[in-house]
């Protein structure tokens, strides 16, 4: 019988140095990354000694510190990860998300609390962390906890399940659907005071984003739309609204669209879409598409996306149209929601301009290299 071999372990074995010119350093070998870290730290200590002559004070024992620090970095785990990976993730967040939080006008305290929340969710939820994080921070604004009676039983029932039925309840690892956003954040390690800080900052950012003239991205709006796009429950309540409207083959996608761009340009009397809404809607679609296509995390996808935008590698409009299915798809959905016969596109656009200028302007902006 032919023997089968699994080479996975061997292929995953890290690069190691065992010998130098025939001299055995270690039978088990020393990882190359360990050697690299040691030399980098030793060089930094050498530079420090040139500035402040520490060797004169401590002797050559001073260079024992690089050995200890290297050992700590390689052997000590933080949040279940090696210190190198943890520091790498943290720096990515600080340099990436934290710096990009200028797009949302958050201060450092808020950014650090959001990082803490994300990492705590990641420890408990694993791959589901990206969805849960966005659902909870978006839920500061978009939740069913403040539903009020409005003289209609049907409308009241719709209000009390509106967002849970669209973006889901949040955590699936112990928190029940009726648990509030605050209760879920408390479960993920935020104190009552820390929750109040995040709640206040997100509310303030939301109010600024919806004040005339602001161009910052609406953080809560982007987060709840991202969560909706990541929520894969095909039987969520909001999908039945799509079925009622005749979206038999794509009711799930229809819900995703309505939670963002399509809802903004077709819902309301009149509908409204300011610049913060526009950026939030397009960025949510683009970032979740990167996540799904490349199978990477929300943090990695966000960093990649905004890096590409900042270097003009592409525009948010071109990426949005590529990810959503093209301009034809956008027009088709808008025409259907607004009740316009779209057989003749030129005529349909004229009708749309007259009937719903917000939706018309949205299409015009998408047609430009950089819409807003």
Residue 96 neighbours by CB distance under 10 Å: 17
Which structural domain, as residue segments, surrounds residue 46?
A: 10-75
Task: Specify if 174 maps to a domain.
Answer: no
- Is 58 within the bounds of a domain? yes
Report CA-CA distances (Å) from 210 to 105, 106, 201, 218: 13, 15, 14, 8
The answer to whether position 67 is within a domain reads yes
Q: What's the average pLDDT block by block, 10 residues per block, for the chain (372 residues)?
A: 53 63 66 81 83 74 80 74 70 61 77 91 92 96 72 56 84 64 93 96 92 83 96 88 76 93 93 94 97 92 89 91 95 93 88 95 88 61
| Eight-class DSSP state of 167 | H
Q: With respect to residue 206, please indicate whether it lies within any of the assigned structural domains.
A: no
Residue 63 domain flag: yes
For the chain, how are helix, strand and coil distributed in percent, rounded to 5? 65, 5, 30
The pLDDT score that the predictor gives to residue 175 is 46
Q: Would you say residue 48 lies in a domain?
A: yes
Give the CA angle between residues 367, 369, 372 to the nearest 5°.
85
Quick check: 242 and 308 in contact, CB under 8 A?
Answer: no
pLDDT value of position 45: 82
**Measured at the alpha carbon of residue 49, what is the angle toward residues 47 and 55, in degrees to the nearest 5?**
150
pLDDT score for 177: 52
What is residue 370's predicted lDDT score, i.e. its pLDDT? 65
What SS3 class is residue 118? helix
Looking at the structure of the chain, the number of domains it has is 1
Which secondary structure element, helix H or strand E, spans residue 251, and what is its range? helix 251-258
Asked if residue 148 belongs to a domain, the reply is no
What count of other Cβ atoms lies within 10 Å of the Cβ of residue 352? 23
């Amino acid at each position: 019988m032919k023997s089968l071999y699994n080479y996975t372990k061997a292929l995953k074995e890290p690069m190691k140095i065992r010998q130098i010119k025939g001299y055995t350093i270690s039978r088990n070998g020393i990882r190359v990354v360990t050697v690299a870290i040691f030399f980098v730290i030793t060089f930094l200590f050498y530079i420090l000694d040139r500035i402040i002559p520490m060797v004169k004070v401590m002797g050559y024992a001073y260079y024992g510190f690089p050995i200890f620090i290297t050992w700590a970095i390689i052997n000590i785990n933080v949040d279940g990860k090696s210190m190198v990976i943890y520091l790498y993730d943290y720096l990515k967040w600080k340099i990436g998300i934290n710096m990009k939080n200028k797009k949302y006008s958050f201060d450092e305290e808020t950014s650090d609390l959001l990082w803490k929340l994300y990492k705590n969710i990641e420890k408990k939820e694993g791959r589901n962390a990206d969805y849960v994080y966005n659902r909870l921070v978006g839920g500061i604004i978009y939740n069913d906890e403040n539903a009020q009676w409005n003289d209609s039983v049907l409308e009241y029932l719709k209000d009390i399940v509106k967002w849970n039925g669209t973006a889901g309840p949040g955590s699936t690892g112990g928190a029940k659907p009726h648990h509030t956003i605050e209760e879920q954040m408390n479960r993920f390690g935020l104190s009552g005071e820390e929750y109040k800080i995040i709640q206040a900052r997100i509310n303030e950012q939301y109010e600024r984003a919806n004040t005339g003239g602001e161009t910052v991205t609406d953080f809560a709006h982007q987060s709840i739309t991202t969560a909706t796009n990541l929520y894969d429950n095909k039987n969520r309540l909001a999908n039945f609204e799509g079925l009622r409207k005749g979206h038999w083959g794509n009711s799930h996608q229809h819900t995703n669209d309505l939670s963002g761009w399509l809802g903004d340009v077709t819902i309301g009397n009149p509908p409204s879409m300011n610049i913060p809404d526009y950026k939030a809607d397009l960025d949510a679609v683009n970032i979740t598409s990167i996540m799904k296509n490349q199978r990477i995390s929300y943090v990695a996808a966000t960093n990649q996306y905004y890096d590409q935008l900042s270097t003009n590698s592409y525009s948010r409009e071109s990426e949005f149209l590529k990810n959503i299915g093209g301009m034809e798809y956008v027009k088709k959905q808008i025409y259907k929601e607004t009740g316009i016969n779209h057989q003749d596109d030129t005529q349909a656009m004229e009708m749309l301009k007259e009937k719903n200028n917000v939706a018309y302007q949205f299409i015009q902006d998408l047609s430009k290299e950089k819409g807003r």
